[in-house]
Amino acid sequence: MINQHHDPAELHDLYAVAEPFPHIVLDDFLLPRFAGQIAAELEACDIGDWRQDDHADQVHKRWTDDPDHVPAMTGTALRFMNTPDACRFFSTLTGIDELMPDSSYLGGGVHVSLTGGRLGVHADFNLHPDLGLHRRVNALLFLNRDWDPAWNGQLELWSRDLERPVVSVDPDFNRLVVFTITDDAFHGVPETIACPPDRRRLSLALYYYTADRPEEEKAPFHWAAWHAVAEA
C-alpha cells in the first residue's frame, strides 16, 4: 500500500535534523489507486453521526476512531497503518525503536474539518490514559484533491517558544506529515478554513507509542494543551 520509493532509513537523517522539531513531509505516500479510492470514499461519506467536541480552539471538526464505521478502503488503510510493517517503517524513519500502534485509535482515525473550522496551536496529550503508553509520533495523511491554498487548512509547526510558525504544510492529496511528539511540539491549523461549503479538509490520523521515553521528556498525564499565540 505504501509507495516503495520512500526508504525510511534514507530519510531518517532529514527527519532528525528538521526544525522546529523532528518531522518530515512525504508526498505520494500511498500507491495512487489506494489514495484515490480513500479520498473518493471520504468526499462522499455521511459524517452526521461522527464525533465532535467544538470549543474555542477546535471548531467544525468531526472524527471517527472506528475503522468499521468508515467505507471499506478507508478502514483498510487505518488497519494497515497499525500493522507491524507500518510500525517498523515509522520506527526506522524516526529513530524511535519499538513503536506500537493504538488499536483504539484514541483521538485519531479519520479527521474531517468543515468550512469555518480551525484547530488552535497545541501540544498533544502525552500518555495513553488507558494503556499507560507514551505517545511519541504522529502520522497525518492528507487526502484533499485539488485543494486551493487560499482555502487555508495548512498544518503549522510552531517554534518551541511559541513565537512563530516555522513550517506551514499545505494539506495536499496523498501527502504524509510525520513528527515527534513532546510537550513542546506545538502545532495546529490556526487559520480559519475557507473552503467552499461542499468541500471538506480530510485526513487520516495515526498515533504511535512506546513503553517508555527519555526521562527529560516525561511529565504527568495531560490532555491536549492549547496555547494562545501572537497574531502575525
Q: Where are the domains of the chain?
A: 8-226
Cis peptide before 129 (omega within 30 of 0): no
When the candidates are 3.30.420.40, 2.130.10.10, 1.10.3720.10, 2.60.120.620, the CATH number that belongs to 8-226 is 2.60.120.620
Element housing 90 (H / E): helix 84-94
Q: What is the Cα 216 distance to its own chain's centre?
A: 24
Q: What is the pLDDT of residue 34?
A: 96
Tell me the C-alpha distance between 185 and 195, whole Å: 27
d(CA 154, CA 35): 20
The neighbour count for residue 154, using CB atoms within 10 Å, is 18
β 187-189/109-123 pair status: antiparallel
Provide the residue-wise pLDDT of the chain in tens; the chain has 232 residues: 887 788 999 999 999 999 999 999 999 999 999 999 999 999 999 999 999 999 999 999 999 999 999 999 999 999 999 999 999 999 999 999 999 999 999 999 999 999 999 999 999 999 999 999 999 999 999 999 999 999 999 999 999 999 999 999 999 999 999 999 999 999 999 999 999 999 999 999 999 999 999 999 999 999 999 998 765 4
pLDDT value, residue 232: 45
Q: What is the pTM (predicted TM-score) of this model?
A: 0.96
Closest CA to 191 of 125, 115, 109, 112: 115
Q: Give the pLDDT score at 231.
A: 52
CB 147 within 8 A of CB 155: no
Q: What is the pLDDT of residue 10?
A: 96
Could you tell me if 180 and 18 are in contact, meaning their C-beta atoms sit under 8 angstroms apart?
A: no
